[in-house]
Structure 1
Amino acid sequence: MNCLSFSESSYLSLAYSHFMLYILLKLTTQNQIDISMVPKQFPEMAESSLSMQYPSVRLQIQDQYVVMDNGIVQVNLSNPGGTVTGIQYNCIDNLLEVLNNETDRGYWDVVWNFPGRNGTKGYPGNPSKKFKGYLDRLEGTNLTVVVENEEQVELSFTRVWDPSLKGNPVPLTIDKRFVMLRGSSGFYSYAIYEHLAESPAFDLDNTRIALKLRKDKFRYMAIADNRQRFMPLPEDRLPPRGQTLAYPEAVRLVNPVEPEFTGEVDDKYEYSSEAKDIRVHGWVSADPPVGFWQITPSFEFRSAGPSKQFLNSHDGPTSLSVFHSTHYAGEDLIMKFGPNEPWKKVYGPVFMYLNSLTSEEGPNLLWEDAKKQVMNEVQTWPYDFPASVDFPSSDQRGNVSGRLLVHDRYICENPTPGIGSYVGLALPGDVGSWQRECKGYQFWTIANEDGYFSIKNVRTGVYNLYAWVPGVIGDYRYDVVINITSGLCVDVGNLVYEPPRDGPTLWEIGIPDRTAAEFYVPDPNPLYINKLYVNHPDRFRQYGLWERYAELYPDGDLVYTIGNSDYRKDWFFAQVTRKTNNNTYEGTTWQIRFKLDNVDESATYKLRVALATAHSSELQVRINDPMANPLFTSGVIGKDNTIARHGIHGLYWLFEVKVPGTHVVEGNNTIFLTQPLSTSPFQGVMYDYIRLEGPSPSNSSKNP
């Protein structure tokens, strides 16, 4: 028998009374009960409150279909394929595009290829022919009911890899799961991919969930508070209504069904987002007022860390949850599996959330409600309902905490808190390797104003701890490998990051934040505008900005003068190729002009160049002689394609250029930055930050 003090029992009685009043109010207004309102001392109240308002979850299995129904949402899936063929909600018989074939409505898929095909390019037997690889819709071959009771249904659609399977399926064993809970306005999906040791080698380029909604209803798209708009129709992209531009994804709407979109550019890459920002995105129907949202409570299963960019919602209307892709990274992020490499990973769960209004009050209320639902999902992560043993619960995970300090002795004598640092755990690797890591899980957080961080709910495994600090160049790695076991809490104490630095700053250009957003981004050509991004913080998400460089610098390349120029106005956001009069392209050379009052010829100066992205480019550095052999060359780097895809950053690069004192002079000096490769308008680099350091006073006979 439990014994409570008078104050404790009184408190619990009051909590119980308040919650029952809350339930009655919700029942009266016919609104969904938020189970997070249940007092923690009464967990059994959650089930009773749900049963008061909602019927039990029902499952119907037919020859070709299986239906999950909780009285709010009904989800129809193919049997045994596990393709989502229909979603019924709020008097809409199917939210998915009924004009599409049933296999092209809601599905998991992968893009893959055999190894050695130039990444995922090239047809087998004809490598010169471009091909994005094989598309596999991951159709299951067997259905298993994992959970079936009044509170939950969980279905498993599996396919075990077998070399005799037709259609070149990806050499993975697949387990797709769909979960419906009682009283939940939506459904969950996750999948377990496994590469068995006896499976053949292959390369994986992309994997995702795709849901294609009805174009006659879902016309309003929302990605963020400031990234929402009514969207054109998919037929507006097709000739003669649409004119394809420099690449197939970019289309100028010349004769759209609705004249308001005339002249706009539609391009799915204009709506990409960083992993850390993809919490909720979706679409709104006006008649009836219904919202369809994908909610991602954690990005632990996404590749390449918090700043990796992914597609989400775009014209179709299409709603995506991309777990792995090479976008904004290129071949560096192809998942390459050897013939004897066992591997398993759980992607998800993600939540397909539906909401509605009783009146036409506009999409904003549905968006705000979806954001509140995100908070509920995040608070309950990791979920306790997935039935797979491969998805660990909270008590099977561990935590890591500590404090990150930054010690740049040329800025401050003592270490200072790493305010706003991104601190994360990823598979062991080199410094900065997390941005190319894609086979394991990653767990990230942001340090507070005192540099303290806490990374919670970490899966068991072996990790390195990585960090980077906005405003500070480079990457940090804690050299001690961290082994997480169930229930383990690790305090790493005070960690001190000493960023690359050999001498005092003589001058700098930009802000070391791993993007080119602070530099000059021009207005777009009026013929190629997306109205959403006019007077918008993300002004770089306009088509064709690469062409503005030659227009702004018709007779010569960019020249930046230290002390006179302003990087916000005078440093173009990307060093791109120049289009010539005969429609070819040529490389470009930018100049940085600066003065030195004193020079120590016996010392070494350091030029630090941080790139926010590179695409099929080479960065050459020369000093004071544009015709000399390069003092430094990066070699050919990058396949990010960020310039074409409006991303403002891709993979981060940091180079150190040693400048002998004999290469600079007292008075005027010039650094020449050359990008010579020129077969495409999309070749080039985006700079993050450039700094020239003088010699260390301890190693210099003169102080410049």
Structure 2
Amino acid sequence: MVTVRSILGLAALVPIAVAAPLEERAKSKSFLKQIDGSTWVIGNELWNVTQGQQYATKLMYKGKDLVGDAVGHYVSYNGAASDLNWTSAAIVDSGSNYINVKFTAVGGDFHWVIYDDLVGAYQYFVNRALPVLGEFRTLWRLDNQSFPNGRTNIKDGVLPPLSEYASATNVQDETWQKADGTFLTKYDWSAFIKDVDFHGVYGEEFGSWYINPGKDYINGNHLKQELMIHRESKTGDAVQLNMIHGTHYQAVSRDAFADGKTWGPWLWYLNSGSQSDAASRAKQEDRAWPYKWFKDAAYQSRGKIQGKLVLSDGRPAAGAAVFLGDNNPSVSSLDQGRDYYYITYADENGKFSIRDVRTGTYGLEAWSNGGKIADVSTLHRESEIQIRKGSNTNLKTLTWKVADVKKRIFQVGEFDRKTTGFALSGPHPYEHGRIANCPTDITYRVGESDTSDWCFGQSEVGSHSIVFPLDSLPAGNSSAAKLTVSLAGFSQGSKADVLLNNVKIGNITDMPNSQDTYRGATQAGEWRLLEFAVGAGALKAKEENKIEFKVYSSAQWRGWLWDSIILEWV
């Protein structure tokens, strides 16, 4: 738990504090000033902001208010339904060149760690009484004239001006269709959050950036996606999101948090709009993480884990995704979010390691990320993994049970929980309505068709079919098989029967809605694994067989994303 007397140490401050752009360095002093019972001003001689009961406004930098008519900074959960209300503010620690300002609310404490010569502040939140929730965030809503552009690690450009929304038609949540048929949607500014180096909004004179090194406090696994920035369609505000517990591309992620659960610290950074400067700062923060100056005992208590994954058929688990999370979880790795989470990928020999893991008891999961093990459909799990302070937990060699590939009849698509290789899956992972461009009917011929002949998703009424020959049936008159359907995402609305040689063997129908296809996701959403039994005698030798995914009911932009389809003898 964070304590008032031991939060910050002075020894490691200087390398962080002196890294502001040269033109912005000055001898200054950080401060907290109370205006009345619910208004405070914090900052230093380079910048300051006025914090009210809910919103921080009047962000002054270089003589300009960067909030203007926008909403400003706030902390909220479950969307905009519950903004935290600050009841008090105090400097809880200070030194010769910093202060730590704590704003208190019923739900918890939000901290601004302000250095004298840093334009921006380190921020973190300590839980006290947050309810069970899905979405928890901090954010800035800033002046749209000062911040006309947005940047994530995969998208950089002009945020749509407010005037474009005024002349377009709203077709769903924050999605608008223009007269030319194209769409404006905030979800185009989403990203795989664990891959983001820095993100923010910027213009020719100003840039506001979030830099989140470590990210172990953010929920989910490698494929966790979140909305990062956007244009607010009603007001035009430039919105800079810090989704520290989010649900934008998930069905459910509701967690209860222990008293003292801490999100952060991360850095909110202001500059002249320079992306190169923000990138340099992000690299510096990565090198400094975990921050030595943050003297919380639980934060500083960390160890290392390593191991080697080998498949039961003898192959190394080359490139496998490795996730360290809840011990003996009752939910998927994407849905985990109450504690702290770590991700990596195995090397070509199946070896992996993760440093700076908070001490505790964890569970490990591994799955195929495509490539040399793209045929592996199973998940490997380990539990009761102890991480101790200053120690290296060596799991040595872990044997991962996989199916016998000799029994494989066919496979369409790499097993990697993504739409890799399918038509229209790239290059950009977000585009509203792209799933509607997939053909309503597809016939894929095993041995003749390419992966790119299969579209990344299915939504409309029609059939996606796989035709395959069988020269013979297994010896001993045993011809039972199993159809494994791996979906990279699923949005409720469309329904399909699964047919083998015109006989129904299952369906793809109502499952929890992960909001992926209709929010423009084209590469991943929330992964689902479906298995369908194929009885003896259903497959025919010496003739063509056909598996058909026949959509009989559809809703616009709703359906599923394909990952891999495997048929094998059992």
- Per the TM superposition, whether the score is higher than 0.5 is yes
Work out which structure has the larger RCO, using CA pairs closer than 8 Å and 6 or more positions apart in sequence: 2
Match of 2:302 in 1: 397
Match of 1:494 in 2: 397
For structure 1, the residue ranges without an aligned partner over 5 or more in a row are: 1-41, 113-133, 161-172, 197-201, 255-261, 357-362, 523-535, 579-587, 696-704
Match of 1:605 in 2: 481
Give 1:468's aligned amino acid: W
Preserved contact between residue 68 and residue 153 of structure 1 (Cα < 8 Å): no
Give 1:424's aligned amino acid: F
Tell me how far apart the structure 2 counterparts of residues 464 and 71 of structure 1 sit (CA, whole Å).
Answer: 47
Match of 1:558 in 2: 442
Task: Give secondary structure in 2 for the equivalent of 1:314.
Answer: strand
Quote how far apart the aligned CAs of 1:342 are: 5.3
Which has the greater radius of gyration? 1
Tell me how far apart the structure 1 counterparts of residues 266 and 27 of structure 2 sit (CA, whole Å).
Answer: 23
Task: Give secondary structure in 1 for the equivalent of 2:533.
Answer: strand
Quote how far apart the aligned CAs of 1:478 are: 3.8
Quote how far apart the aligned CAs of 1:92 are: 4.1
Q: What is the TM-score when the length of structure 2 is the normalising length?
A: 0.87
Trace 1:91-102 onto structure 2 (pairs within 5 A).
91-96=62-67, 98-100=68-70
Trace 1:78-477 onto structure 2 (pairs within 5 A).
78=52, 81=53, 83-89=55-61, 91-96=62-67, 98-100=68-70, 104-111=71-78, 135-160=81-106, 173-195=107-129, 203-224=132-153, 227-238=155-166, 241-245=167-171, 247-254=172-179, 264-286=182-204, 289-315=205-231, 316-330=237-251, 332-335=252-255, 337=256, 344-356=260-272, 366-386=274-294, 389=296, 392-393=299-300, 396-407=301-312, 409=313, 414-416=314-316, 418-429=317-328, 433-471=332-370, 472=374, 473-474=376-377, 476-477=379-380
Quote how far apart the aligned CAs of 1:599 are: 1.4
Task: Give secondary structure in 2 for the equivalent of 1:434.
Answer: coil
Cα distance 1:144–1:69, how it changes in 2: closer, same or farther (>3 A)?
Answer: closer
Give deviations 1:537-561, integer Å, cap 9, x for gaps. Answer: 21x5232223334xx44xxx32222
Task: Give secondary structure in 1 for the equivalent of 2:334.
Answer: helix
Match of 2:7 in 1: none
Tell me how far apart the structure 1 counterparts of residues 15 and 337 of structure 2 sit (CA, whole Å).
Answer: 38
Cα distance 1:57–1:142, how it changes in 2: closer, same or farther (>3 A)?
Answer: closer
Preserved contact between residue 410 and residue 446 of structure 2 (Cα < 8 Å): yes
Preserved contact between residue 50 and residue 182 of structure 1 (Cα < 8 Å): no
Preserved contact between residue 432 and residue 475 of structure 1 (Cα < 8 Å): no
Quote how far apart the aligned CAs of 1:294 are: 1.0
Task: Give secondary structure in 2 for the equivalent of 1:450.
Answer: coil
Match of 1:11 in 2: none
Give deviations 1:440-489, integer Å, cap 9, x for gaps. Answer: 21111223333322212222222101122311344544434112333332
Quote how far apart the aligned CAs of 1:400 are: 1.1
Cα distance 1:92–1:559, how it changes in 2: closer, same or farther (>3 A)?
Answer: farther
Preserved contact between residue 486 and residue 529 of structure 2 (Cα < 8 Å): yes
Question: Which structure is higher in helix share?
Answer: 1
Preserved contact between residue 146 and residue 206 of structure 2 (Cα < 8 Å): no
Give 1:149's aligned amino acid: G
Cα distance 1:49–1:188, how it changes in 2: closer, same or farther (>3 A)?
Answer: closer
Tell me how far apart the structure 2 counterparts of residues 431 and 420 of structure 1 sit (CA, whole Å).
Answer: 26
Quote how far apart the aligned CAs of 1:138 are: 0.5
Preserved contact between residue 74 and residue 88 of structure 1 (Cα < 8 Å): yes
Give deviations 1:635-664, integer Å, cap 9, x for gaps. Answer: 621301211111122111223333234111
Tell me how far apart the structure 1 counterparts of residues 497 and 464 of structure 2 sit (CA, whole Å).
Answer: 10
Cα distance 1:275–1:429, how it changes in 2: closer, same or farther (>3 A)?
Answer: farther
Task: Give secondary structure in 2 for the equivalent of 1:305.
Answer: coil
Match of 1:576 in 2: 459
Give 1:571's aligned amino acid: W
Give deviations 1:77-99, integer Å, cap 9, x for gaps. Answer: 23xx363223222x242222x11
Cα distance 1:475–1:391, how it changes in 2: closer, same or farther (>3 A)?
Answer: farther
Match of 1:73 among 40, 47, 52: 47
Cα distance 1:392–1:234, how it changes in 2: closer, same or farther (>3 A)?
Answer: same
Match of 1:655 in 2: 530
Give deviations 1:575-631, integer Å, cap 9, x for gaps. Answer: 1033xxxxxxxxx43221110011134232232221101122555432112xx3x32
Give deviations 1:134-166, integer Å, cap 9, x for gaps. Answer: 711111112232113322111111123xxxxxx
Cα distance 1:107–1:304, how it changes in 2: closer, same or farther (>3 A)?
Answer: same
Give 2:253's aligned amino acid: L
Tell me how far apart the structure 2 counterparts of residues 327 and 75 of structure 1 sit (CA, whole Å).
Answer: 30
Give deviations 1:113-135, integer Å, cap 9, x for gaps. Answer: xxxxxxxxxxxxxxxxxxxxx71
Tell me how far apart the structure 2 counterparts of residues 138 and 518 of structure 1 sit (CA, whole Å).
Answer: 44
Tell me how far apart the structure 1 counterparts of residues 184 and 100 of structure 2 sit (CA, whole Å).
Answer: 38
Task: Give secondary structure in 2 for the equivalent of 1:546.
Answer: helix
Give 1:88's aligned amino acid: M
Give 1:381's aligned amino acid: W
Give 1:605's aligned amino acid: A
Give deviations 1:520-569, integer Å, cap 9, x for gaps. Answer: 129xxxxxxxxxxxxx721x5232223334xx44xxx322222232231x
Preserved contact between residue 298 and residue 381 of structure 1 (Cα < 8 Å): yes
Tell me how far apart the structure 2 counterparts of residues 281 and 50 of structure 1 sit (CA, whole Å).
Answer: 19
Give deviations 1:492-534, integer Å, cap 9, x for gaps. Answer: 1112223344643322211112112421129xxxxxxxxxxxx
Give deviations 1:42-72, integer Å, cap 9, x for gaps. Answer: 9797599799963343333332433333333
Match of 1:518 in 2: 421
Question: Which structure is higher in strand share?
Answer: 2
Count how many residue pairs are aligned between Structure 1 and Structure 2.
541
Cα distance 1:638–1:88, how it changes in 2: closer, same or farther (>3 A)?
Answer: same
Quote how far apart the aligned CAs of 1:295 are: 0.9
Cα distance 1:135–1:50, how it changes in 2: closer, same or farther (>3 A)?
Answer: closer
Give 2:122's aligned amino acid: Y
Give 2:58's aligned amino acid: G
Tell me how far apart the structure 1 counterparts of residues 59 and 359 of structure 2 sit (CA, whole Å).
Answer: 36
Tell me how far apart the structure 1 counterparts of residues 16 and 467 of structure 2 sit (CA, whole Å).
Answer: 71
Tell me how far apart the structure 2 counterparts of residues 87 and 474 of structure 1 sit (CA, whole Å).
Answer: 51
Match of 1:58 among 19, 31, 34: 31
Match of 1:13 in 2: none
For structure 2, the residue ranges without an aligned partner over 5 or more in a row are: 1-10, 232-236
Aligned-pair Cα RMSD in Å: 2.9
Quote how far apart the aligned CAs of 1:687 are: 1.2
Quote how far apart the aligned CAs of 1:683 are: 3.1
Cα distance 1:186–1:481, how it changes in 2: closer, same or farther (>3 A)?
Answer: same
Preserved contact between residue 508 and residue 689 of structure 1 (Cα < 8 Å): yes
Identity value in percent = 24
Match of 1:685 in 2: 560
Quote how far apart the aligned CAs of 1:264 are: 4.9
Tell me how far apart the structure 2 counterparts of residues 85 and 559 of structure 1 sit (CA, whole Å).
Answer: 57
